[in-house]
Chains A and B, each alone.
Chain A
């Protein structure tokens, strides 16, 4: 068992729902966790599917919250967006973009394949320095509140299993296979180096 707690990053596209849900749960379980988005903007559902609310990553959850309250409190209360932002702002002030973070992790968990690709691309485009490995695992989660919650628990379980391995590097392959079978979901997995 590694001496230091696993440094985990949970990444979705806007760092709002899926990654934050996982962030919430993982941090409660004592993981060294951070969450990110890979999109160029933060997008939240708007009044119509083709009219999302778009913010940049500098906007705080608080600002988004008040913006949405001003726009249509009723609607955003009903679809749970305000509730989500409420939770998010308790966790951290603003969404973070994965590409802008140069910190190192042991494990990066992504929430959809596209995000996985973006993370891989980002990691591979960086110059290698330390040869420290980082495992990137994709867990497909649909972008809604219920799936996010379920997905967060799955991620949490996965992290706990990994945390409890004696030799993560050696066992992760097998572990993921088992997990795949158990959850009957396919995981994409790769290793990158810092």
Chain B
């Protein structure tokens, strides 16, 4: 009957029945049929049949479940293990369907478990696998029913007992059973703990029972007891995990369970992370090499899973550290962090986390150090883990200073004894040489590793304090051993097993020690667990006392100082950036002297410690930003100010650190600006300072005017170098459009100060508000003008402002102004339209200014036609002051010059001299004199021709004297030409003879020429011009005896006139004539002779005037001949 074909038949029948209505068989009939057949089938077939039944009565038609339950349960006595296993599965499914059934079935289940688990491992495994589900159903049912019957109570007890049984299986000597026990524990913990909002809930288990669904006032189930149970289950699990001889499989299972727990019950997060940490540092020594890598891989996997859970946020640093140790890249870790989670960590832990993470990066400091310290492996105290965390930190801090090379060496030597003969695989797998041994970072790490071990063992300052109920004192640490030896023999034994020595002892009898796991109950445990079942929760606040303020401050100071002093050691380890960051952060949190200490420290070697300086500065600024809007800048300002002042006061400093600091500072405060100003005022650094300031102006647009103002201020600085540098920079900046207005305004404002009767206090320094009644000095006037004048050549328009100020200023200032404008005006040049406009407009009161400008412009170069035109206009139309013409005189036309001459020569002699210089081109060496509208000769002639009504003779004479003074210009030739021309004029100029005499005095060799002139004058009847005639006579008088021949040419009456004026001339002349040859004497008219010879004859000559005229003409002709002769004589 139980043949293969039959079976197929049944199966097909079954399937047909579900789909095909043709074979009309009720479900109930089918079940009966299957059960009947199954009773006689072989195990395999039986199982198939039973599975079909299960399908039918549970899923297809649950109403039948009750009917066939007993029949199904009957199979529990089947010989085959597989069948019995199936029955357990069936019970599970049935209970899920109808939890009421559990009441009936629980006993059976218990029986199955009871009788099988001790010897039939496989079945037990199966049972364990199933139980959580049963357990769940049971609890669901218990929760729902409000009234509790005895039956239910009994049932509950049984479940509890079963639970205990299964938990006991954690100690089973069957690896597989233990594996399942672990899974059971996991399910149990999840059930016996409350779901929280951050719990991760698998979809299929959504409806599953958990502690939070149990009403707190349930009549039979006590919420808190269950919660305790859950916790103790977790403890058992954790304890199991740190068992030194745990098998690889169990360990991986437990790791997975913990991950699940952490994710589904985040309140256990800290315990889980702690357990992972402990495990990582203490991999069981029994593991083979490949197992170690498997476990590590698992650890990594689960850590990542935990990391992804949002509740792990607080443990990210620990997890990251672990993952880094496990060889995961930093980037990959970061990718696993849930993005939705806020990245800010708890601020209190931040500095530590920061440092630690960075510390781990460059070198993976492996946990070989823990071999040095034979710390016992003890189950961590899960419920007090928050306390443990801090305890580790405290212990680590405590250990740190004690880890001197000496102490460490001792520790190593002592622990040598405990080392195993064979290197444990876990050690081998994870060992990498310690690269940074002896560095601060590595010592810290070591301290932390030791602290983890010690805390786990219940040792260390916190534990001691916990015991004694007092805080760990500072000085106690230095003189007393740190560890209170309360390690029992048991834990010592474990300590050995950590490093595998235990294994080597027992290896001969039991090569695989993991087969005999003995749960180890460390002596430290009971205290935590407590006999009452209530754990004493560790709270840091209970065991420590706050330090006194002064003590606290002292400690803080010392700590900071240590960090400061450790500069070199840290630099060697390449961790300086951590130190810098740390210091910066610390500093900003403390007030008082520490900051100053630090700043002083930085300034001692600012070059080497600039990174610290910057870091600090930024941190301060950050702090300020954090406190916005209420926060003050004081702290930041102080920091910046001190740094800058320090730099400023340092004598030698060329590397531009000052500039760098200024430019990189996030904000330049007023006081900082003052320092910069001081820096700029230092003559030796003025260029660097100003360059910095310029950069500031250009690169910090938001406050550029503030900076610019400083630079502008410096432009009137008393030190010449500072001033000129500032001006150079400003000029460069003036080219920028957006700065131009400001600079201009500043310059003009400053210049505007000149209109005040007294220099305003502004000029004497910023602080002094009092009006200083001192008078303007050259210096103060200049101060107001430096900037303006340097801008003037760049922007000619400004010149009008000067004119405006000038008109209002007092005379002293005017003089100073006239003195200082030379350079800029020359820079502007005479083609500047604005300058021309100024000349054209010439504001009232600014005439002197304009004149000065004109002078400056034409000083070296001849005036341009444009300029001349403006001046001419000005002169003719508005201000008829001849002085305007002087500068442009060379640009005027000849006629104009001649016209202006009378006025010009009436001016101050100095001015007249200048005019002549200009006209004669004697003031400058270049050949610009050729530009003069008048030749020297013409000038002299013009002077002679000045209408005496327009100008007094005295001025004219002075003017001619000036001409004669210029010997270089008025050479004998020039003078000869002048005389020639003057002589030809009609009427004769009044000063003619004066000039002749003057010329003769200057150039005696002109004598001949002068004689000639005199002769010509006779022809022009010189006696008709009284003044000239006078001069003529004087000249003759001076030039005797040469003039005798000229005198002889005079008509007799005139000659007589001469003798009237100078009677002493007659005798010599007579002698002269007598010395003539007789032939020559014959040429002398008798009338002349008569005058010469006798005084009485003069009367005789008078009655014949007509004759005289003819006589005269003849005589003149004669005299001409004579004259020529004389000339020949002279030239000989």
A residues contacting B by CB (< 8 A) are: 2-3, 116-117, 120-121, 124, 127-133, 167-174, 176-177, 180, 186-193
Contact = CB atoms under 8 A, between A and B. Distances in A.
B180 A131 contact: yes
Contacts of A129: 204
The majority secondary structure among interface residues of chain B is: helix
Contact of B121 (A128, A167, A187): A167
Given A117-B297, A173-B247, 12 more contacts: A116-B297, A124-B256, A128-B260, A133-B180, A167-B176, A169-B125, A169-B175, A172-B249, A173-B248, A177-B291, A188-B293, A193-B183
A170 B177 contact: yes
Interface string B281-307: 000000011110110011001100100
A186 B289 CA distance: 8
B203 interface: yes
Interface in B379-398: none
Nearest to A177: B288
Interface in B201-254: 202-205, 247-249, 252-253
Interface of B: 43-44, 82, 121-122, 125, 129, 132, 174-177, 179-180, 183, 187, 202-205, 247-249, 252-253, 256, 259-260, 288-291, 293-294, 297-298, 301-302, 305, 512, 514
Contact of A191 (B253, B260, B289): B253
Contact of B175 (A116, A171, A187, A193): A171
A186 B175 contact: no
Nearest to A129: B204
Nearest to B289: A186
B297 A187 contact: no
B256 A192 contact: yes
B175 A191 contact: no
B290 A186 contact: yes
Contact of A187 (B179, B202, B290, B305): B290
A169 B176 contact: yes
A156 B64 CA distance: 46
B160 to A, nearest CB: 20
Contacts of A3: 43-44, 82
Given A120-B301, A131-B187, A170 B289 contact: no
Contacts of A117: 297, 301
B312 to A, nearest CB: 16
Nearest to B514: A173
A124 B302 contact: yes
Contacts of A131: 129, 132, 180, 183, 187
B205 A191 contact: no
B298 A173 contact: no
The majority secondary structure among interface residues of chain A is: mixed
Interface-central residue, B179, B180, B291, B294, by most chain A CB under 10 Å: B294
A169 B179 contact: yes
7 contacts: A2-B122, A124-B301, A127-B202, A167-B176, A169-B177, A171-B175, A188-B294
A68 to B, nearest CB: 36
A144 B754 CA distance: 98
What 8 pairs across the A-B complex have the smallest Cβ distances?
A169-B176, A186-B290, A127-B202, A170-B176, A170-B175, A190-B252, A188-B294, A170-B174
Contacts of B205: 127
A182 to B, nearest CB: 13
Given A127-B202, A167-B174, A191 B252 contact: yes
B163 to A, nearest CB: 15
A93 to B, nearest CB: 25
A174 B174 CA distance: 12
Nearest to A127: B202
A128 B259 CA distance: 12
A187 B247 CA distance: 15
A189 B176 contact: no
Contacts of A120: 297-298, 301
B297 A188 contact: yes
Contacts of B203: 127
Contacts of A192: 256
A177 B291 CA distance: 9
A190 B179 contact: no
B43 A121 contact: no
B361 to A, nearest CB: 23
A189 B514 CA distance: 17
Contact of B129 (A124, A130, A167, A171): A130
A190 B175 contact: no
B203 to A, nearest CB: 6
Nearest to B187: A131
A157 to B, nearest CB: 17
A108 B856 CA distance: 105
B124 to A, nearest CB: 11
A117 B305 CA distance: 13
A189 B290 contact: yes
A133 B202 contact: no
A127 B187 contact: no
A152 to B, nearest CB: 20
Interface-central residue, B247, B260, B298, by most chain A CB under 10 Å: B298
Contact of B298 (A167, A172, A176, A190): A190
Contacts of B43: 3
Nearest to B89: A130
Given A117-B297, A124-B301, A188-B297, A169 B183 contact: no
Nearest to B295: A190
Contacts of B260: 128
Contacts of B256: 124, 191-193
A67 to B, nearest CB: 36
A31 to B, nearest CB: 18
A47 B177 CA distance: 53
A177 B249 CA distance: 12
A191 B249 contact: yes
Contacts of A189: 248-249, 290-291, 294
A168 B125 CA distance: 11
A190 B755 CA distance: 97
Contacts of A167: 121-122, 174, 176
Contacts of B121: 167, 170
Contact of A190 (B44, B259, B294): B294
B249 A173 contact: yes
B301 A121 contact: yes
A189 B287 CA distance: 12
Nearest to A132: B129
A177 B425 CA distance: 13
B204 to A, nearest CB: 6
A169 B129 CA distance: 13
Contacts of A124: 256, 259, 301-302, 305
A35 B125 CA distance: 28
A174 B177 contact: no
A180 B288 contact: yes
B484 to A, nearest CB: 39
Contacts of B247: 173
A37 B43 CA distance: 36
A124 B308 CA distance: 13
Contacts of B512: 174
Nearest to B515: A174
Contacts of B175: 169-173
B176 A168 contact: yes
A43 to B, nearest CB: 23
A165 to B, nearest CB: 10
Contacts of A180: 288, 290
B202 to A, nearest CB: 4
A106 to B, nearest CB: 12
A190 B297 contact: yes
Nearest to A125: B305
A117 B512 CA distance: 28
Nearest to A189: B294
B307 to A, nearest CB: 13
A120 B512 CA distance: 27
Nearest to A3: B82
A128 B298 contact: no
B828 to A, nearest CB: 74
Contact of B179 (A133, A176, A177, A188): A133
